């Protein structure tokens, strides 16, 4: 406990110590005065000024420093406690019970809320007098509509805005629900990497105190400030509109025949389930699928980039986007179920024409060596180079028409060692279900894609003129964001809901993690 007497005594002692040290330092540092005979004679004007009469200097003012121990009356004085209003003590006790009434992650969240209130000396955020502030009513309405955003706040009971007086427990409950909404909206319900190590998303979750300060501090726009923790992307908002159509008992636009034909022909596909199940069950499953995809939007970077590349794995397609508009589309081949294409965001930096293919150790050991009886020389006779380094053999395929990467590859350094590239097996692009690779993404008409990526000055023909037997590098003028995504439900440019097969089972895992039926 800090007391006034202690502060006064400590400050005085510190002052005297500093003063004594200062004087001692001055005495030690002062040079010895020279003999009078060694001093030069001052000029006449200076001698006249020195001889002039002066007013008497005032006597120094005396003061006394009390170094006595603090009095008993001051010993119980707490500066921090004095700043807490009288009603704040009851609020502090309510917060303490609130924190200890939970465990695990929820207790940590409640502790952060309690710390926020302690920093503001337990002054209420949402209440004023015995009633609610105006912004509290708007925030409560937004929280009651959390289901519109695909969120679930059933574990957070909301206070009645019409109840009088507004109690401390009501204030605390509202703050917890606000923080829970913001955390869920930012992607805090699921850790994507627990679903698969090949999902590289790491959602950035807001700090509870910052959420409360920003929301309450927005005044009349408090509800909008809270809703802004949801993804800002048009793709998310379009799915939210489809969810509202379903919720309002208006059947959403049926997926087109194109959408149905593109779905993987497996028993667990959304298309087959919709056809086989009764209408009510179909709506429940469709709602779950939409919410699962809204959840995956929360894993995306908030700023995708006005210029970017998007690859949607279940759609087997990529798009180049410039200034927010799609300028190029291409079919792609993605990883097989056993060798999935990773889901992550990065930035494309350069292109290699006539690339070598460095055979991954997994492919070399599991496929090539068994095929050739473990004979590296037999592999070398098929157009590969065997390079020995530090006692280990590395195999790479020379540039050429038969190279596994084709004639061009597109590089964006990443932890998964995947990239986009050409392929000599171009007939596979005619397939509807294009999951044939070991994880990398093969691009149809790759030189046309290169033109779309490089922009002005790099026509398709110019890039093709670099074809030869030596690697050629083209650096992008600036890194281009690339997002390898996994959306099994999305809304196309015409406003129609499109559904795709759950190739890697990620959508089913999200639905299960969120407790959604279907």
Q: Which residues are catalytic?
A: 421, 440
Alpha carbons 73 and 343: distance in angstroms, whole number: 66
Q: Which of 518, 6, 448 is nearest to 274 (CA)?
A: 518
Q: Which of 206, 207, 212, 203 is nearest to 229 (CA)?
A: 206
Q: Which of 319, 339, 341, 338 is nearest to 330 (CA)?
A: 319
Find out whether 268 and 337 touch, Cβ atoms under 8 Å: no
What is the distance between the terminal CA atoms of the chain, rounded to a whole angstrom? 58
Find out whether 481 and 321 touch, Cβ atoms under 8 Å: no
Alpha carbons 341 and 445: distance in angstroms, whole number: 20
Strands 408-411 and 420-421: what pairing?
Answer: antiparallel
Alpha carbons 338 and 122: distance in angstroms, whole number: 55
Strands 472-485 and 308-312: what pairing?
Answer: parallel
Please name the helix (run of DSSP H) or strand (run of DSSP E) that holds residue 15, with its range, or none: helix 4-29
Q: Tokens 């574990």 map to which residue? A: 155
Residue 39: which region, alpha, beta or left (left: phi > 0; alpha: psi -120 to 50)? beta
3-state secondary structure of 393: strand
Alpha carbons 318 and 328: distance in angstroms, whole number: 8
Please name the helix (run of DSSP H) or strand (run of DSSP E) that holds residue 34, with its range, or none: none
């Amino acid at each position: 406990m800090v007391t006034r007497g202690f502060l006064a005594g400590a400050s005085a002692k510190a002052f005297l110590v500093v003063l004594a040290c200062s004087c001692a330092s001055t005495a030690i540092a002062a040079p010895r005065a020279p003999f009078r005979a060694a001093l030069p004679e001052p000029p006449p004007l200076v001698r006249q000024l020195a001889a002039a009469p002066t007013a008497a200097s005032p006597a120094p003012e005396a003061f006394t420093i009390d170094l006595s121990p603090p009095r008993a009356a001051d010993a119980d004085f707490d500066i921090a406690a004095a700043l807490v209003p009288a009603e704040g003590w009851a609020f502090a006790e309510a917060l303490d019970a609130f924190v200890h009434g939970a465990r695990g992650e929820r207790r940590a969240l409640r502790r952060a809320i309690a710390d926020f209130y302690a920093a503001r000396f337990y002054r209420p955020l949402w209440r004023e007098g015995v009633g609610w502030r105006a912004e509290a009513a708007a925030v409560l309405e937004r929280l009651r509509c959390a289901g519109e955003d695909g969120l679930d706040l059933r574990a957070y009971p909301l206070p009645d805005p019409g109840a009088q007086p507004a109690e401390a427990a009501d204030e605390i409950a509202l703050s917890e629900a606000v923080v829970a909404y913001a955390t869920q909206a930012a992607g805090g319900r699921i850790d994507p990497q627990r679903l698969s190590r090949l999902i590289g998303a790491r959602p950035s979750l807001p700090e509870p105190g910052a959420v409360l300060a920003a929301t309450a501090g927005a005044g009349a726009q408090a509800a909008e400030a809270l809703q802004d923790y949801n993804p800002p992307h048009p793709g998310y908002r379009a799915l939210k509109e489809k969810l509202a159509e379903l919720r309002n008992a208006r059947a959403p636009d049926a997926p087109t025949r194109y959408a149905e034909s593109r779905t993987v022909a497996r028993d667990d596909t959304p298309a087959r389930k919709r056809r086989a199940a009764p209408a009510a069950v179909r709506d429940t499953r469709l709602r779950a699928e939409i919410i699962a995809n809204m959840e995956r939007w929360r894993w995306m970077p908030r700023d995708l980039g006005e210029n970017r590349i998007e690859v949607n794995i279940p759609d087997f397609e990529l798009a180049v986007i410039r200034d927010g508009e799609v300028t190029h589309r291409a079919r792609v081949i993605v990883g097989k179920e056993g060798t999935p294409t990773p889901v992550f965001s990065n930035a494309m930096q350069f292109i290699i024409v006539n690339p070598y293919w460095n055979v991954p150790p997994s492919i070399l050991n599991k496929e090539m060596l068994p095929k050739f009886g473990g004979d590296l020389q037999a592999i070398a006779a098929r157009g590969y180079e065997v390079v020995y380094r530090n006692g280990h053999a590395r195999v790479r395929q020379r540039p050429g028409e038969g190279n596994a990467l084709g004639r061009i590859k597109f590089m964006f350094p990443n932890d998964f060692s995947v990239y986009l590239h050409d392929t000599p097996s171009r007939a596979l692009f005619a397939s509807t279900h294009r999951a044939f690779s070991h994880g990398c993404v093969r691009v149809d008409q790759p030189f046309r894609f290169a033109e779309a990526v490089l922009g002005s000055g790099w026509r398709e023909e110019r890039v093709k003129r670099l074809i030869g037997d030596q690697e050629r590098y083209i650096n992008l003028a600036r890194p281009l964001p690339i997002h390898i995504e996994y959306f099994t439900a999305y809304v196309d440019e015409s406003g129609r809901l499109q559904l795709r097969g759950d190739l890697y089972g990620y959508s089913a895992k999200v639905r299960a993690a969120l407790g959604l039926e279907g």
